[in-house]
Amino acid sequence: MSKGTLRQILLLTDGCSNSGEDPVAIAALAKEEGMTVNVIGIVDNGDLGEQGISEVESIASAGGGISQIVYAKQLSQTVQMVTRKAMTQTIQGVVNKEISQILGEGKELEDLEPEKRGQLMEVVDELGETMDLDLLILVDTSASMKNKLPMVQEALIDLSVSLRSRTGNNNFALYSFPGKRKDVDKLIQWTPQFDSLSGAFKKMTISGITPTGPALQEAIRLVRKRMKKRGSDSDERFDLEEAGM
């Protein structure tokens, strides 16, 4: 039986948005819709800059996710770590809400006895292992990203190896932005694993603009569409009671 689905958007970028809506606002919207937005900022030739770094952090924070600034070389370990951590964080968020419902407003995990805390944490771990994950990956393919794409490709395959080792089901989709005519272009549609990504980045367009906001907006639409299609009930992402709480 399914315990529900975690929905994440992972944004990989190396620069500041310079066109369209404010990505921070769009990320906040994603959060409202029960999704999590994680952002990895890639610094290589220092092209991210202070403004870029602060944007990366703000998007993730508004999107209820995690951000990390890394060198392209460290991408593999970072991508899988950010994804896993964000999954746990989302589950913890729900569990914490649950706690304040049980213990009263403003109460936190620390107000539980260590032993009880342990039992709760076990549930969090268990859910992280068994819940399904829909992950839409959004890769910035503006000109400066070109030489980083082989590393992005490697990191995504590595991520697939990590997630496939879980018990829960995974579904990935890969999009790039800016697209040829639209805000984003589909590179790979929903699939349970990335076996080979060779060629995936071939058809993308290299461009000077970085419309991060519009791209995020399109990503939300795509995740939502999939959600509807799978006939998921209401916006309850998972049920704690069902998980043995």
How far apart CA 95 and CA 242 sit, in angstroms, is 13
Could you say which of 77, 78, 207, 232 contacts other proteins (CB under 8 A)? 77
Q: Report the alpha-carbon angle 198-201-205, nearest 5.
A: 160
Q: Report how many residues bind other proteins under the rule CB under 8 A.
A: 31
Tell me whether residue 162 or residue 207 sits nearer to other proteins (CB atom). 162
Please state the closest distance from residue 90 (CB atom) to other proteins, in A.
9
For 139, the token pair is: 């890769």
Tell me whether residue 3 or residue 140 sits nearer to other proteins (CB atom). 3
Please state the closest distance from residue 193 (CB atom) to other proteins, in A.
11
Q: In what order do the strands lie in the sheet with 170-177?
A: 67-70, 36-42, 5-13, 132-140, 170-177, 185-191
**Contact between 167 and 130 (Cβ < 8 Å):** yes
Tell me whether residue 88 or residue 207 sits nearer to other proteins (CB atom). 88
Asked whether position 31 contacts other proteins by CB under 8 A, the answer is no
Question: Between residue 105 and residue 134, which ones bind other proteins under the rule CB under 8 A?
Answer: 108-110, 113-115, 117-118, 120-122, 124-125, 129
Looking from the CA of 24 toward its CB, the CA atoms found within 13 Å total 11
For 225, the token pair is: 């569409």
Q: Which residue type occupies 24?
A: V
Contact range with other proteins by CB under 8 A, out of 133-141, 161-169, 193-201, 223-231: 161-169
Could you say which of 54, 78, 100, 232 contacts other proteins (CB under 8 A)? 100
Contact range with other proteins by CB under 8 A, out of 3-11, 87-95, 139-147, 191-199: 87-95
Q: Which residues contact other proteins by CB under 8 A?
A: 76-77, 88-89, 92-93, 96-97, 100, 108-110, 113-115, 117-118, 120-122, 124-125, 129, 158, 161-167
